[in-house]
């Protein structure tokens, strides 16, 4: 399911009550997959991220267009580029996993993102990596 702060959900214009219900649904989905807590290993290909620190689609869009995150609020191009954030898709999520001997920061996750058009062309060299950790 899309994270609550993703462009896919933000664009729905949910009321406060609907946002609360959606957040509860996300928590239910997490536990129904057998994860006891958010730092459990959660590896998967495609779909939506189990994010640690917040939405990454806008980050991918801005950074790959030359806007550093520290300057996005003052760069006039950020508003023009923002709608393109919805074009970014999660390609691969790899969690810290003691069984595999992987530790990304403090129980973090690696997220590989790719634009929809690049995924369709199998242009994996256009993928973007983001590390998030708690």
* CATH code (residue 100): 2.30.320.10
Q: Does 25 reside within a domain?
A: no
Query: E strand or H helix at 15, and its extent?
Result: none
Encoding tokens for residue 88? 């970014």
Query: pTM of the entire structure?
Result: 0.73
Q: Does 28 reside within a domain?
A: no
Number of domains, the chain? 1
Please list the rounded mean pLDDT of every run of 10 residues in the chain (134 residues): 75 86 82 57 79 83 82 71 90 86 83 96 95 82
pLDDT of residue 40: 58
Q: Does 33 reside within a domain?
A: no
pLDDT of residue 41: 60
Q: Does 109 reside within a domain?
A: yes
pLDDT of residue 74: 67
| DSSP per-residue string spanning 24-84 | HHHHHHHHHTT-SSTTS---EESS----SSS--HHHHHHHTTT--GGGTTT-THHHHHGGG
């Amino acid at each position: 399911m899309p994270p609550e702060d993703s462009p896919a959900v933000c664009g729905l214009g949910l009321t406060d009550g609907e946002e609360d219900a959606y957040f509860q649904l996300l928590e239910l989905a997490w536990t129904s997959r057998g994860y006891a807590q958010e730092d459990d290993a959660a590896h998967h290909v495609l779909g939506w991220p189990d994010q640690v620190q917040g939405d990454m689609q806008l980050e991918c869009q801005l950074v790959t267009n030359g806007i550093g995150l520290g300057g996005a609020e003052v760069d006039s191009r950020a508003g023009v580029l923002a709608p393109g954030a919805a074009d970014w898709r999660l390609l691969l999520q790899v969690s810290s996993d003691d069984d595999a001997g992987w530790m990304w920061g403090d129980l973090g996750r690696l997220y590989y993102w790719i634009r929809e058009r690049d995924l369709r062309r199998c242009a994996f060299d256009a993928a973007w990596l983001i590390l998030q950790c708690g």
